[in-house]
Chains A and B, each alone.
Chain A
Amino acid sequence: MIPSRTLFAALALVAFSGCSHVEPWVKSYERENLADPIMAWDRDPVASSYILHVYESREGARGAAGGAGGGCGCN
């Protein structure tokens, strides 16, 4: 039986070695639409921060409001 640590290490090795060869299926020059400001998760941080504060102060749930990193990769 293969020890779980060995199995995990093998999987990690395969996964990360695979990562380095991932070919982007959306090329940089194909990201014109994604680079449009209207596609930003959060166009106006100062306004989003405020409305988040409004909700978090009046509702029981909080967290994972999202939006960390746009992920456009258009540069």
Chain B
Amino acid sequence: MQLTRTTRGVAITLAAGWLFCPTPSIAGVLPEDRADLMYHYYDGGGVEIDGPSLLVRKKFAEKYAVNASYYVDMVSSASIDVITTASPYKEERTQYGLGFEYLRGKVAYAANFSNSKENDYAADTARFSISQDMFGDLTTVQLAFSRGKDDVTSRGNPLLSEKVDRHIYGIDVSQIVSKKLILGAAWETTTEEGFLNNPYRQVRFLDDTDLVDGYDYEFERYPRTRTGNALSLRGRYYLSYRAALQGDYRWYNDSWGVGASTFEVAYTHPIGDRLIFDVHYRYYIQDAADFYSDLFPRENFQNFLGRDKELATMESQTLGFGVGYEFRVPGVEFIQKATVNLKYDLIRFNYDDFRDLRPTGTVYEPGFEPLYNFDANVIRLFFSGWF
């Protein structure tokens, strides 16, 4: 079911794109031969998600590289949306990916494909990119294009069979400024067309005839197109005692009226040759979509209706820690280096116009319920091997 993930198609596309883009390589060098096996766990807002993730990359003749990935989300959801308008559920999402890279001189070409499936949603994504080092290898420019096609169905409505068509255009520039400083800038435009709302989610409206709550529900209706633009700026600085400091900013705006800014600072501190510690703080703030409301004045109040909290006026704050330990695997010669890593993030989501309807009854008038917020714990435990 899709109650927790309105933007799932985009999320899958972008996350897959991130997984396969040649970071942190440079255009003139293919990524290292490496395998990552991760266990991920998310717990927040009544939703628990965990599962494995695997990514393997392998070079051939220093000119070709292939990568393959496998990812599973096992979801157990009793989110606020679910418990106020539906029933708790469990589901599984599986994603496969395959990619190929070709290096010719200072130009790297990459093509990646991914497929994501769950019981009511399927997403296929293809991503193509070209990267080039220039200006004495001080500058790396990448152009990328993604195409995604999603199939949307509903477990409660066998007649529902909808599509989403997605295009993503991106340019990313990374620039060496000095012996210790790298700057980066990226622009990405995402266009979507098709069934963009959630077939399960409902909006609420004032209803005087409802003597229990004073409000009732109808299904949400979204525009069938959405275009979003994002610009990010980032810098990473090497500190003389061997540590790194990074700052990021991202601006976002789209045709639904959602505007957002993201700020992030990160610090990396190695101890000796084996231990690396990371700490980061992220702040995100967002304006609501034009057609969003927590409580509409009446039924069919306007053409488009949304009560997805991801489209509400909101903010989130993240404090994250990570530690990695490097070692050799005894008796396994082909693994030249290995690391075991643990990352923990605490994310706090606060909503300015999404109300908590769980304390129902006569205590609160409609529209005066307490605002909703929740904390999420995110754990990533992974093993990486270089071979």
Which of B21, B53, B172, B284 meets A59, CB within 8 Å? B284
Min CB–CB distance B327 → chain A (angstroms): 15
Min CB–CB distance B72 → chain A (angstroms): 12
For A1, what are the chain B residues with a Cβ–Cβ distance below 8 Å? none
0 or 1 for each of A17-41: is its CB under 8 Å from B? (1 = yes): 0010011111010110110101111
Q: Report Cα–Cα, A41/B172, bound state, in Å.
A: 13
For A23, what are the chain B residues with a Cβ–Cβ distance below 8 Å? 136
Which of B5, B22, B242 meets A69, CB within 8 Å? B22
Q: Is the C-beta of B178 less than 8 angstroms from some C-beta in chain A? A: yes
0 or 1 for each of A55-72: is its CB under 8 Å from B? (1 = yes): 111111111111111111
CB neighbors of A among B122-168 (8 A): 129, 131, 133-142, 144, 168
By secondary structure, the B interface counts as strand
B286–A61 contact, CB under 8 A? yes
Q: Report Cα–Cα, A59/B4, bound state, in Å.
A: 11
Given contacts A57-B5, A59-B284, contact A43 B179 (CB under 8 A): no
A66–B137 contact, CB under 8 A? no
Q: Is the C-beta of B102 less than 8 angstroms from some C-beta in chain A? A: no
Which of B5, B7, B28, B252 meets A73, CB within 8 Å? B28
Which of B26, B136, B236, B376 meets A74, CB within 8 Å? B26
B141–A34 contact, CB under 8 A? no
Given contacts A49-B18, A50-B15, contact A68 B137 (CB under 8 A): no
Of the listed residues A26, A36, A72, the one surrounded by the most CB atoms of chain B closer than 10 A to its CB is A72
Tally chain B residues at the interface, Cβ within 8 Å: 99
Q: Is the C-beta of B225 less than 8 angstroms from some C-beta in chain A? A: no
Which of A47, A54, A57 meets B8, CB within 8 Å? A57
Min CB–CB distance A28 → chain B (angstroms): 7
For A43, what are the chain B residues with a Cβ–Cβ distance below 8 Å? 24
Q: Is the C-beta of B230 less than 8 angstroms from some C-beta in chain A? A: yes
B138–A73 contact, CB under 8 A? yes
B26–A73 contact, CB under 8 A? yes
B139–A67 contact, CB under 8 A? no
Min CB–CB distance A34 → chain B (angstroms): 6
For A19, what are the chain B residues with a Cβ–Cβ distance below 8 Å? 134-135
A-B contact pairs, 11 of them (CB 8 A): A22-B135, A23-B136, A31-B179, A46-B36, A50-B40, A62-B10, A62-B190, A63-B14, A66-B185, A70-B24, A71-B133
Given contacts A31-B179, A34-B182, A63-B229, 5 further A-B contacts (CB under 8 A): A24-B137, A24-B138, A50-B40, A62-B190, A72-B182
Q: Which residues of B contact A (CB under 8 A)?
A: 4-5, 7-8, 10-12, 14-16, 18-19, 21-29, 36, 38, 40, 42, 53-55, 69, 129, 131, 133-142, 144, 168, 170, 172-176, 178-180, 182, 184-190, 228-232, 234, 236, 238, 242-244, 248, 250, 252, 254, 258, 260, 262, 268, 270, 276, 284, 286, 289, 310-311, 314, 316, 324, 341, 343, 345, 347, 349, 376, 378, 380, 382, 384
The 6 closest A-B pairs by CB, nearest first: A73-B137, A24-B136, A71-B174, A40-B24, A69-B140, A64-B230
Q: Which residues of A contact B (CB under 8 A)?
A: 19, 22-26, 28, 30-31, 33-34, 36, 38-75
